[in-house]
Structure formats: structure tokens, C-alpha cells
Amino acid sequence: MKETEMKASLFCLQCNDDTPHSIIYINDEITSVRCEECQHTVSIQVDIMKEFYKEIYERVFTKPSRITQEYRQDLSHFLSRLPFRVASKPYRLMRDLNESRKLIQQYRNKKKSV
């Protein structure tokens, strides 16, 4: 699960003008929009666990087709990288789970304070 920030020029109701805004996404869902001028923030409730489960589901069920696509594109490259990928998979999995756990905890704490 990834949190990304995007900058955009939007119309602010508080400033009554087009101002730069910061838009925060969790995966593809907008969670908040903040005006950079007046700091007015609009938070949008997102079911964080639903997003987490949806991401896991998509990653697990699309893996066979992604692997098939990789080996069809370049079999020799796929086979040469396979031992490294298999050996590093537990580390990558733990890293992704820890990032997701931190993001879920951060989002829950933010939700409680609002």
C-alpha cells in the first residue's frame, strides 16, 4: 500500500481563488486535499482495510499472468533473474507488509485525532 502526494492548482473555497493544493492518495483513493495558502484541509474517509485487502487480492490473483507475460517477453532474462527473485521475495514481502502496517497505523491515528 502506497501513500502518494500530488500537487495541483485548484479553486479554494476559503481563499476564493485558484491556489496550489496538495492531494494525498492511498493507492488510487484520495484521502485528503489541502490548500497550500490557507492550510484548509478536506479529509475523505477511506476504508483503509478494504484498500489493503483489495491490493493483496489483486497482487495474488494477477501474479500468474504477470509471470507468464514476463517469461514470454524474454525467457533467458526471466530465468537468469529467477534465483535472485526467489531468494529476495521474503525480504520484499516483509518490507511491503511493514510499509502497509505503518501506513494503516498512521491513518488510524489520524482518523482518531480528527
Domain range summary for the chain, segments of one domain joined by +: 3-113
3-state helix, strand and coil shares in percent for the chain, rounded to the nearest 5: 55, 25, 15
Q: In which band, very low, low, confident or very high, does the pLDDT at 27 lie, cut at 50, 70 and 90?
A: confident
Alpha-carbon Rg of the chain, whole angstroms?
A: 19
| Buried residues in 63-72 as b, exposed as e (16+ CB within 10 A) | eeeeeeeeee
Burial of 25 (0-12, 13-18, 19+ CB in 10 A): middle
pLDDT digits (tens, 9 = 90+) for 78-107: 999 999 999 999 999 999 999 999 988 888
